[in-house]
Amino acid sequence: MLRRLTLACAALCLLAATAQAADIKTGRELVDACRAYAALDISQDNNLARQPHPCRTFLQGFFTSLLHAENARRDAMLKGLPYASNELCVRMPDFLSYRDMAGRLVNFGQNNPAVLNGPATTLAQKTLERDFPCPAQPKPH
């Protein structure tokens, strides 16, 4: 019981730290920041895309939290502990640039205005669930 509580608290803390990393709290703030990030003209200087930016900082923290949540899920599975999550399964591509993800977030926010007033992490998670769903599992006969 304590171990499950610890895993759940760790996951929540990571998600909270993600939003605070770039002072982005709402979906609207995330869309605005990522729209600005995607609009950077890096044709002249590719280093512009590597400089700290609120959208990129948020995404770095968000992807780090995803990795930790997946590690916690696997650890719980190996130890025979139940691990429940409200998020749908996502299958990340082998490569996804921050600029590509920023564009996906902006697109999802524009097409789903209801998520703009909610947490930025919800908008990011829902974007991944839409764009990178796990393949359907075959049903046993």
DSSP one-letter string for 25-41: -BHHHHHHHHHHHHT--
Q: What percent of the chain has pLDDT over 90?
A: 41
pLDDT of 85: 67
- What is the domain partition of the chain in residue ranges? 2-131
Q: Model-level pTM greater than 0.75?
A: no
Residue whose tokens read 């899920």: 73
Q: Does residue 58 have a pLDDT over 60?
A: yes
Rg of the Cα trace of the chain?
16
Distance spanning both ends of the chain, measured CA to CA? 36
